[in-house]
Amino acid sequence: MGLACYDGPSDYQITIGGRKLVCGAVRSTEDAVSVQCTVPLFGETRQIADGLRFDMPGQRMAFMARIGYRATTLESALGRRVELEEATSHLREGFAKALNITFSAGELTEAESFRASSLRIQKYANDDWTKGIHPVDN
């Protein structure tokens, strides 16, 4: 695999016509498993390059050309635009059925809101962090 998950399909991942649609990652510890997946709903898959750091001249352009052929969006796959609300509704229904669970809406606790705000300020709103490559931390 290359610089990004969507750089190309690999075994056991969801593809359409040989192009990757769903990209995922799994992290496990002694007491938890975290699964993260992304599904680009619409737009240009080449935009993924905007969030990556490249060390050599020409790498960004080469990556953008490659990813345009190796990845796809849900809009391209279905031939119609899918908005976030529709996609999350279908995902929620699918997980509920597959796992035999019921979801319920809730609010963040004060501690969760504080943590989210801190992460936004310290990391996600900081270009040095978001466009860099960092080890996994807690």
Q: Active site includes 5?
A: yes
**What are the tens digits of pLDDT across the range 57-80?**
888 888 888 888 888 999 999 999
Do 52 and 36 fall within a single domain?
yes
Choosing from 3, 4, 5, 67, which is the catalytic residue? 5
User: What is the residue range of 127's domain?
Assistant: 106-138
Both 96 and 120 in one domain: the answer is no
70: tokens are 């190796």
The token pair at 138 is 């807690």
If one counts the domains in the chain, the total is 2
Instruction: State the Cα–Cα distance between residues 15 and 70, nearest whole angstrom.
Output: 9
Task: Give the three-state DSSP class for 35.
Answer: strand
Top-confidence residue, 135 or 125? 125
The confidence score (pLDDT) of residue 134 equals 54
Is residue 43 within 8 A of residue 50, CB to CB? The reply is no
Encode pLDDT of 29-43 as tens digits. 998 888 888 888 998
